[in-house]
Structure 1
Amino acid sequence: MFHKVIITLLKPLSFLPALLVMYMIFSFSAQNGTESGDLSFKVSVKLVEVGSEVLDMKLTDSEIQMYANKYHHYVRKLGHMTEYCVLAITLCVPLYAYGVRGIWLYLLAGLICAGFAATDEYHQSFVAGRGPSARDVCIDTFGAMIGITGTQIVGWAAVKSTKELERERKRKRKQKRRRQKR
């Protein structure tokens, strides 16, 4: 009994990671255009540096800057997708625990993520050097769909594995009872 009370009280807290990710996204959107661009450019530079190391390219600083400029736009868009993929996962896990699965998980989590993306873009219209973008809402929603799909696959595999384990336990119990009857 006490166990069920604790779970009932703690279950709503499973949404806390999603709320923290939403806060993080909102914070990034509150940066002015220059701050946001500088941050994502630093990420672009770091990615080029790591790529240069991994591929043993020995790029000069000017070559690193050139490649960072070249790929900066894609890094920003990949950042959008990644943020919303993480948001979708942190939202889907507790929804899955509440029994929301299949098409209902896509609809509920998808609507929440797409709605948050739209309101976040609207929020950017009030930030200096930033503006709303319908394209970014689509990119964000696509990232969320990747997260939802991944959660569905992992959840399906976990449920299937659990059911298979339970079937195996039942089979072994039946075998044991048969042996005992002999």
Structure 2
Amino acid sequence: MKKVALFFLKPLSFLPALLMMYLIFQFSAQTGELSGNLSYEVSYKIVEIGNEVLDKGLDEWTIGQYAYEIEYPIRKLAHMTEYFLLAVAVSFPFYVYGLRGFPLMLVAGLICVAFACGDEYHQSFVEGRGPSVKDVCIDSIGAFGGILTVRLICWLFLTPARVAKRQEAYAYRKMEARRRAQRERRRRY
């Protein structure tokens, strides 16, 4: 029964990756003006929160000026974050299916970079947007970080269980070898 449930549930593990791809596609489908406004609003909110937390007493114009200055880095950080999350969502299911090490990095990396290229191509058809090799590189850095994070988390949390299982199997084989040796000695005498 467990195997049947896993057979049907394993493919669903790719659902978060598909949802993340859909989300990225929707962000890329925004016009240049809409996308720029969203980036500015996020930047403005960050500066506004910083102003309140640090109690700087900045006026609206100064907050707007700082928001304008950090808009570009915030926008690029958003690119990295999107692809970081995509890589995590792509890597975990492959890990569940048994893909580990360099093959995991290669397959998940190729999927994420290919999606980044396709996404930039998609932007060439959106008003006020255009493709950017720089954005593909930024996306790829985020994806690489996501894949490394998955590998690190799986190594930290799953490797001890595998090591314990191997040690248990080794102890069992050793015990069985002793039993066989004892039986063999008894048979000889």
Normalising by structure 2, we get a TM-score of: 0.85
Aligned to 2:181: none
Give the C-alpha shift of residue 161 in structure 1.
2.6
Listed one character per residue, the Cα deviations across residues 33-81 of structure 1 (whole Å, up to 9, x for unaligned) are 0000011111111111122222222222111101000010000000000
Matched, 1:39 2:38: yes
The number of residues matched between the two structures is 172
| Aligned-partner residue type, residue 71 of structure 1 | I
1:178 — aligned with what?
A: none
User: How has the CA–CA distance of structure 1 residues 7 and 22 changed in structure 2, closer, same or farther, with 3 Å as cutoff?
Assistant: same
Q: Distance between the aligned counterparts of 2:11 and 2:105, measured in 1?
A: 20
Which structure has the larger Rg over C-alpha atoms?
Answer: 2
Give the Cα–Cα distance (whole angstroms) in 2 for the partners of residues 164 and 50 of structure 1: 47
The reply on whether 1:91 has 2:90 as its aligned counterpart is yes
Give 1:158 shift.
1.2
User: Following superposition of structure 1 onto structure 2, how do residues 30-179 of structure 1 map, counting pairs within 5 Å?
Assistant: 30-163=29-162, 165-166=164-165
Q: What displacement does 1:5 show?
A: 0.3
- Provide Cα deviations, 1:138-182, integer angstroms capped at 9, x if missing partner: 0000000000011100011112232355478789x9xxxxxxxxx
Unaligned runs of 5+ in 2: 173-189
Give 1:118 shift: 0.3
Q: Deviations over 1:62-113 (max 9, x none)?
A: 1110100001000000000000000000111111101111111110010000
What SS does structure 2 have at the residue aligned with 1:20?
helix
Whichever residue aligns with residue 130 of structure 1, its letter is R
Give the Cα–Cα distance (whole angstroms) in 1 for the partners of residues 13 and 31 of structure 2.
32
In structure 2, what is the Cα distance between the partners aligned to 1:125 and 1:148? 28
User: In the superposition, relative to structure 1, how do residues 168 and 102 fare at CA in structure 2: closer, same or farther (>3 Å)?
Assistant: closer
Could you tell me which runs of 5 or more consecutive residues in structure 1 were left unpaired when the two chains were aligned: 174-182
Percent identity for Structure 1 against Structure 2:
52
How has the CA–CA distance of structure 1 residues 168 and 140 changed in structure 2, closer, same or farther, with 3 Å as cutoff? Answer: same
Aligned-CA RMSD value: 1.9
Determine helix, strand or coil for the equivalent of 1:104.
helix
TM-score after normalising by structure 1: 0.89
The answer as to 2:1 corresponding to 1:8 is: no
**After the TM superposition, which segments of 4 or more aligned residues of structure 1 sit over 3 Å from their partners?**
163-171
